[in-house]
Amino acid sequence: MTNNAKLQPPRRCDGPAMLIAGLGEYHTFQDLSGLPAQWQRFRTLHVPKRIGSVAYGVCYNTDDNGFDYIAGVEVSDFDSIPPEFARAKLNPQHYAVFSHPGHVSTVHETFMAIFREWFPNSNEQPAAAPVFERFDERFIGQTGLGGFEIWVPLKA
């Protein structure tokens, strides 16, 4: 990792099915500058049927150029979610869970270390399922500090 941070070994766990609703946008790998603004816009929204206080950044539909990203929260169902909200259904999945202790702006370096260093040196393979960031009470949105987790789905 270019920020000299050492990627800590992940813990492995089974994640439950979840429904995530929030603000969705497409981002290119070349320009990730829109992510902070997406989160700022999301924070002004009311999401019906929210479960808990954890926020999620869900990456899906990844291609060679970029990915779709939902800044969102877990919801009990999609029935009363406004049509302009993006939705993601996460199926039960086995994950490698990595800690990102640094500032949120350096998360790209952690992702690069996971996919360019950890996977090639492990006996694991990523599954074709969404990757997500999990922001709990430790994360301070106003400063971008406090740390969060990156949940990467693994093939069985």
Q: pLDDT digits over 23-78, tens only?
A: 999 999 999 999 999 999 999 999 999 999 999 999 999 999 999 999 999 999 99
4 pLDDT tier (thresholds 50, 70, 90): very low
Where in the chain are the domains? 11-142
Look at residue 5 in the predicted model and tell me its pLDDT.
55
Question: Closest by alpha carbon to 136, among 96, 90, 99?
Answer: 99
Topology annotation, domain 11-142: Multidrug-efflux Transporter 1 Regulator Bmrr; Chain A (3.20.80)
**Cα angle value 85/142/103 (rounded, 5°):** 100
SS3 113: helix
Share of the chain above pLDDT 70, in %: 97
What pLDDT band is residue 3 in, cutting at 50, 70 and 90? Answer: very low
pTM value is 0.94
**6 band by pLDDT with thresholds 50, 70 and 90:** confident
